[in-house]
Amino acid sequence: MIPRYTLPEMGTLWADQSRYETWVRVEILASEAQAKLGLVPEDAVEDMRRAKVPDAARVAEIEKERDHEVLSFLAAYCEGIPDASARWVHLGMTSYDLVDTSLGHTLARATDLLTAAARRLRRVLTERAAEHWDTPIIGRTHGVHAEPTTFGHKLAGFAFAVDRSLTRLAAAREAVAVGTISGSVGTYALIDPYVEGYVCEALGLGVEPSPSQVVARDRHAQLLQAVAALGACVEHLALELRLLQRTEVREVEERRTSAYQGSSAMPHKRNPTTSERLNGLARLLRGYANSAVENIALWHERDLAHQSVERVILPDSLCVGHFQATRATELVENLAVFPDRMAEHIDQTDGLVYSSAVLADLLQGGMEREKAYRAVQSAANNTIASGEHFSSTLAKEGIDLGTLTPDRFLRNHGVIRNRLEQLRELED
């Protein structure tokens, strides 16, 4: 992923040098296990530990001649190991024993970073939802004014969506945090299964139960689908905040620095650029998830068609998802909220937002449903056509609007607040 959408802690995990550091760790662990089995001399393992991680530039230089990254890495690594010890490196292993086991370790670490970012987003959403639990705002269905709700209720919905994403990420982490060191076509023909268990335990990984030389790719697809689902939840949040920032609405606004410039031509513009950026990144995540599904089916025990795809979609998905969740947290945390504007909009339609409450009162008073509905609808249509207040048009139908306030719609709101408090407790 380009630096613009990569935060340092996540980007470092996916750098070539970091990959080779993990590869060296796997090779040393595998040799340690072989030594415990009496198959590799202990002094050879000690030489491997002393050797430096090969420089990424050196690996790339050798790869120009060998056209094979793993062999080039091994050649560069063994340059720092005496010949008598270097011959024991990678004993009984095949390339993807190294690649996939290391990848499982990296994916687990990257998912942990993303999970931490999503937890911060959940915490900020629950905090601001509690802050604005009693801030009335008009609810909109189909983009049209419906009934009053609260801004806190809106934010609570997004907090619970992120919470569900955290559950999906946890399951996906378990799925991808596996390795295999089973040799060519996964039969353990030239390597003892003890080596696999030793290495994977040291790295905090599970073991692929029936390896085919590679780790099954449905695991990676599950992770990228979970990342895309989190991205879509962030997209939903960002879209709502974009809509609430429109000039004619302006119920919220992204915080701006003194250096902010919204348009090269129109100095007055205050564009919702952060929200828009979050929406756009979600589209990338969905595309990556689809590519991961395409990667599941490999020829026989393995082919290499998935590799070129994974070099792009795995680091990009984790980098983008992490960036998106982090920036969404900052957006919500610093969001300016305008309760007065929200209150104004509740009354913008001259009382029409209370039509369902009037209908409910008429039904409870014994009026037949069709008659009650038609009477309230007729009054509402007259208000829309004339601009006359709903109380007046209702009176012409022989109906008294009474004294209605947004609280009428929030009488049972406490049950949702209790659920939100339970979610907030997860952060303690």
Residues known to be catalytic: 142, 263
DSSP letter, residue 54: P
254, 275 contact by CB (below 8 A): yes
Closest-CA residue to 337 (of 239, 420, 255)? 255
331, 274 contact by CB (below 8 A): yes
3-state SS class at 214: coil
Burial of residue 265, with CB atoms counted within 10 A of its CB: 0-12 exposed, 13-18 middle, 19 or more buried: exposed
Residues 6+ apart with CB under 8 A from 33: 192, 194, 195, 198, 199
Long-range contacts of 41-46 (CB under 8 A, 24+ apart): 41/85, 41/88, 43/85, 44/84, 44/85, 44/88, 45/88
Q: φ and ψ at 139, to 5 degrees?
A: -80, 145
3-state SS class at 215: coil
- Residue that is written with structure tokens 């002393």 in the block: 50
57, 43 contact by CB (below 8 A): no
Residues 6+ apart with CB under 8 A from 333: 124, 128
Residues 6+ apart with CB under 8 A from 304: none
Cα–Cα distance for residue pair 275/236, rounded to 1 Å: 10
Terminal alpha carbon distance of the chain: 34
3-state SS class at 19: helix
| b/e map 334-354, b = 16+ CB within 10 Å | ebebbeeebbebbeebbbbbb
Closest-CA residue to 332 (of 424, 241, 261)? 241
